Amino acid sequence: MLDPIADKLLLTAAFLSLWLVGELPLWLVGLIVGRDLVIVAGATAYHWVIGRFDAEPSVLSKLTTAVQILFVLLELLHLSGWLVVAESVRGGLAILTAAVTLASGIHYVVVWGARARRAKRMEKRA
């Protein structure tokens, strides 16, 4: 559990820092942080309402983390002057990052919502 938490904290800090220096739009940072807050809130609710839950990152979630890390890395390299990244590439990667982040957030809500409904139905039958 600590490894994904550390990943999320590092990425959140990186995205917030890039926003604070004016390199990222607030909507992108809000989407990324908002997704993580929804996942944490959902996991907490699941734990208290349903019971123990085994966190299993989906393939889409792993892809989202990889794209976010790549995006932050390219932004930092661009800002440092070590790599010149065309504005169109930066913009395209921002859109890709937003798309996979949104898709992953929706995926978690749908999958874990279905599991919660199934668990509640099974509980009523017992």
Q: Give the pLDDT confidence of 46-57 residue by residue, as tens digits.
A: 888 888 877 778
- The C-alpha atoms of residue 126 and residue 98 are separated, in whole angstroms, by 42
Mean pLDDT over all residues of the chain? 92
- The C-alpha atoms of residue 126 and residue 87 are separated, in whole angstroms, by 58
Tokens representing 103 are: 């898709």
Task: Give the mean model confidence (pLDDT) for residues 83-102.
Answer: 96
Buried b (16+ CB within 10 A) or exposed e, 7-27: ebeebbebbeebbeeeebeee
Tell me the pLDDT tens digit for each residue of 72-83.
Answer: 999 999 999 999
pLDDT of residue 126: 65
**pTM of the full structure:** 0.90
